[in-house]
C-alpha cells in the first residue's frame, strides 16, 4: 500500500501471497493435521526469527531507541490452550516510545507501530506495516 503527503510518498504496508497459508484455530480432522504438518517445514527458531525481524526493522532506517522493545510471538494461538498448535510464522510489533502500551490498548487508542511478519518456511519477511505514523518519518 502506498501513502502520500504532498510530494512525499512511501510504502507503508505489504503482504506476500504466502500469508494465505495462515489458518484459523477452528479447523478439525484432516485440515487440522495438515496445518500441524505445516510447522514441520519451519526452518527457524524464535530467536532467529526475531533476529530477521530486527534486521529488517533497522534496514528500513528505524531506530530501536525510538520504540519500545518489540512484542514477539509465533503464530498459532495461545500455548495455554489445549488445541494450541504453532505454525511457521512469527510476528513482531514495535510501538513508538510515546505510546503507553498498557493504557492505550485498554482504551482502544490507536497506537503508532511497526509490524513485521517473518516466515519460517521462506526465512524472510512476508509482511510489513507502518501504522498511525506520518508519511516519510516516524514522528
Cβ atoms of residues 128 and 62 within 8 Å: no
3 part of a folded domain: no
The pLDDT of residue 59: 93
Which DSSP string corresponds to 97-128? TT--HHHHHHHT----EEEEEEETTTTEEEEE
Does this model's pTM top 0.85? no
138 part of a folded domain: no
Q: Cell 505489504 maps to which residue?
A: 14
100 part of a folded domain: yes
116 part of a folded domain: yes
Report the number of distinct structural domains present in the chain: 1
Could you list the residue range(s) of the whole structural domain that residue 36 is in? Answer: 9-131
58 part of a folded domain: yes
Each residue's pLDDT, cut to its tens digit, for the chain (139 residues) gives: 555 556 777 777 878 876 545 555 566 777 777 777 777 889 999 999 999 999 999 998 899 999 999 999 988 766 666 666 778 899 999 999 999 999 988 888 889 999 999 999 999 999 999 998 887 777 6
13 part of a folded domain: yes
d(Cα 68, Cα 82) in Å, to the nearest integer? 31
The pLDDT of residue 116: 96
136 part of a folded domain: no
66 part of a folded domain: yes
Cβ atoms of residues 138 and 66 within 8 Å: yes
Q: Residue 11: which H helix or E strand, with range?
A: strand 8-11
Amino acid at each position: 500500500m502506498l501513502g502520500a503527503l504532498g510530494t512525499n510518498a512511501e510504502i507503508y504496508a505489504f503482504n506476500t501471497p504466502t500469508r494465505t497459508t495462515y489458518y484459523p484455530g477452528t479447523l478439525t480432522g484432516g485440515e487440522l493435521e495438515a496445518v500441524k504438518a505445516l510447522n514441520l517445514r519451519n526452518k527457524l527458531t524464535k530467536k532467529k526469527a526475531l533476529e530477521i525481524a530486527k534486521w529488517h526493522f533497522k534496514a528500513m532506517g528505524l531506530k530501536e531507541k525510538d520504540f519500545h522493545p518489540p512484542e514477539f510471538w509465533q503464530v498459532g494461538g495461545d500455548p495455554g490452550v489445549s488445541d494450541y498448535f504453532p505454525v511457521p510464522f512469527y510476528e513482531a510489533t514495535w510501538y513508538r516510545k510515546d505510546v503507553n502500551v498498557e493504557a492505550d490498548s485498554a482504551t482502544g487508542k490507536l497506537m503508532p507501530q511497526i509490524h513485521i511478519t517473518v516466515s519460517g518456511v521462506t526465512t524472510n519477511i512476508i509482511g510489513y506495516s507502518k501504522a498511525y505514523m506520518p508519511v516519510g518519518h516516524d514522528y
